[in-house]
């Protein structure tokens, strides 16, 4: 029973820490997106922002967020899996942004925030399940 309570507490702590790390990564992602969207196509800007945010997320996740890393002894494999999940998240991110901007003429920042919510949940669930 104590072990189960400890696991639950750690899961909540990790989720909260992952959420805060993701907020920082999102702020960087959004800043890059909005700056680059002035000079390149918004999906190119979205990709650059997402990749920048993903790098911040990886560093924070592996250093500060997750206490247990299934592949800590194989950091190259861990980074590759983290990146592959991120690529799937990027496809989701850009798909939502495209659908909102082109489909309903939503402002770019609003489309990004909607995409961020879905991508956050997608990435967290897969990364928690497969990596941490």
40-59 confidence digits (pLDDT tens):
999 999 999 999 998 998 88
Concatenating the DSSP letter of every residue in 20-70 gives HHHHHHHHHHHHHHHHHTTTS-HHHHHHHHHHHHHHHHHHHIIIII-S--T
Q: Which of 118, 123, 115, 122 has its CA nearest to residue 96?
A: 115
The tens digit of pLDDT for each residue in 94-109 reads: 999 999 999 999 999 9
Domain boundaries, position 10:
2-130
Give the model's pLDDT for residue 39: 98
Average pLDDT, stretch 113-128?
91
Give the model's pLDDT for residue 5: 55
The tens digit of pLDDT for each residue in 49-86 reads: 999 998 998 889 888 887 777 777 777 888 888 889 98
Number of domains, the chain: 1
């Amino acid at each position: 029973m104590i072990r189960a309570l400890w696991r639950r507490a750690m899961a909540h702590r990790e989720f909260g820490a992952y959420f805060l790390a993701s907020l920082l990564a999102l702020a960087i992602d959004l800043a890059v997106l909005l700056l680059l969207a002035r000079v390149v196509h918004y999906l190119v800007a979205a990709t650059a922002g997402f990749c920048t945010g993903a790098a911040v997320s990886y560093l924070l996740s592996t250093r500060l967020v997750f206490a247990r890393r299934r592949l800590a002894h194989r950091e190259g494999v861990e980074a590759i899996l983290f990146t592959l999940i991120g690529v799937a998240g990027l496809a989701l991110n850009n798909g939502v942004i495209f659908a909102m901007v082109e489909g309903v003429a939503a402002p770019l920042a609003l489309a990004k925030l909607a995409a961020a919510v879905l991508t956050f949940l997608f990435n967290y669930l897969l990364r928690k399940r497969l990596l941490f």
